[in-house]
Amino acid sequence: MRFIQTLKNIWKIDDLRTRILITISFVAVYRFGSFVILPGVNPAHLEALRNSASGGLLGLLDMFSGGAFANASIFALGIMPYISASIVMQLMGIALPYFQKLQREGESGRTKMNQYTRYLTVGILVLQGPAYIYGAIRGAIPGGFWDWVLPATIILAAGSMFVLWLGERITDKGVGNGISFIILIGIIARLPHALVGEVERTIDAPGGLILFGLELLGLLLVTGFAIMLVQGTRKVPVQYAKRIVGNKQYGGVRQYIPLKVNAANVMPIIFAQAIMFIPITLAQFTAKEGGGGFFAPLMDSNSFAYNFIFALLIVAFTYFYTAITVNPTQMAEDLKRNNGFIPGVKPGKRTAEYIDTIMSRITLPGSIFLAIIAILPAFAGLFGINSQFAHFFGGTSLLILVGVVLDTLQQIESHLLMRHYDGFLKSGAKIKGRTGSIAAY
């Protein structure tokens, strides 16, 4: 009953109702486009692509695009080229002084960075378009380079940029976190298909219903651990003085700085996944199914080499993204400016060093836990679970589901509480979502 009442409260708020309806409209456009096949491609020739995209890395890529990859849709390349461009721009922001300067220029600098990211996205699409055509749908190409491949590449690039535009509109006019929300919709769209496939696999096996029930229980447990990882914090006590006379501080109030165990949220796993998709692109350029040679182990999402490299990338990107999102020096300056201090630690440089030490200590277990959740689908595959359903036992899909859903609920909760309505939780409770998102780019 409380949930139904909350839905009624949502509908009473004009602004929130409009945002939700706009989001639903954009999502409907995105899902419709996922089934619009490239002009000239015979749908009957796509059966081989659908079979190859039913598992492995191609299956994961298909899940990110909500099935558009296997449909040879105009949205087949999805949003991942933009994520790849974002990674490159983040790295350039550390390595090149010009981009470091842009990052310090505030809103104008972010606008320029976003513009460069879009330009780079188009460049990546120009490369990935022919790779997808010659690699994934090479058996269904109806013409030559100039009369079909080039126009199809332009259509694929335009489709991917249109998906990016939809995500940005959801951020501005909808419920927020548009790019993350687009990925979320793609993952949810593949869940029923994966669930049906797993039911068909277990239904004929001895004790199939019990086995399927245990799998669902395991999925719930992993989801619970993922929520704990997203919401986990380490509280650092801070004393705020009411007045300062000389070197003495009088009165004050004690509060806490909540330092997140996983300050980078789901971004490291998305960045690492984008890097692990590179072998697919290279293999498609060579038109060799399965990659072959050096790329063969990296094309198998259940191989030891793939999961080991994937886990290392997640740990590295967790430290990288935490370093660019958490600024201990700025936090220390803000505390000093507001007459605040950490008990037992001198204000200024010592406080910054203390916060940096705490962040380093809690980031390591957070990154390892994130990496373990990311490679759980490989262990699920060892137990014979359908590869499409196994992707939901951790990995990118589960963490994105948890993170984006919590973010969306938090924003809806804020709208409700602002207008003195009860939210999804009891009075006084708060939903803690992720502090950052892909949409930040």
For the segment 179-188, what is each residue's pLDDT rounded down to a tens digit? 888 888 888 8
Give the per-residue pLDDT at 247: 53
pLDDT (tens digit, 9 = 90+) per residue, 135-170? 777 767 777 888 888 999 999 999 999 999 999 999
C-alpha to C-alpha distance for 398 and 391, rounded to whole angstroms:
8
C-alpha to C-alpha distance for 273 and 267, rounded to whole angstroms:
10
Sign of CA dihedral 187, 189, 192, 198: negative
C-alpha to C-alpha distance for 152 and 130, rounded to whole angstroms:
8
**Window from 7-16, 136-145, 236-245 with minimum mean pLDDT:** 236-245
Give the per-residue pLDDT at 438: 44
CATH number at residue 139: 1.10.3370.10
Give the per-residue pLDDT at 24: 92
Which segment, 45-59, 219-233, 323-337, is predicted with the most confidence on average?
A: 323-337
pLDDT band at 423, cuts 50/70/90?
Answer: low
Please give the tally of structural domains in the chain: 1
Give the per-residue pLDDT at 26: 93
pLDDT band at 436, cuts 50/70/90?
Answer: very low
C-alpha to C-alpha distance for 209 and 359, rounded to whole angstroms:
45
Strand ranges of the sheet holding 253-260, from the earlier edge strand across to the other edge: 253-260, 233-240, 340-341
pTM: 0.77
Higher pLDDT, residue 121 or 252: 121
Q: How many CA atoms lie within 13 A of 109 on its CB side?
A: 12
For residue 256, what are the β-bridge partners? Answer: 237
DSSP for residue 393? S
Which of 78, 110, 182, 81 is CA-nearest to residue 408? Answer: 182
For residue 258, what are the β-bridge partners? Answer: 235
Element (H, E) at 267: helix 267-276
**Window from 138-142, 293-297, 400-404 with minimum mean pLDDT:** 293-297
Whole domain around residue 11: which residue ranges?
2-440
Cβ neighbours of residue 226 closer than 8 Å, sequence gap 6 or more: 373, 394, 398, 399, 402
pLDDT (tens digit, 9 = 90+) per residue, 53-112? 666 677 777 877 888 888 888 998 888 889 888 888 887 887 788 888 887 787 888 889
C-alpha to C-alpha distance for 386 and 114, rounded to whole angstroms:
39
pLDDT (tens digit, 9 = 90+) per residue, 317-352? 888 888 877 888 888 888 888 777 788 888 888 888
pLDDT above 50 for 441: no
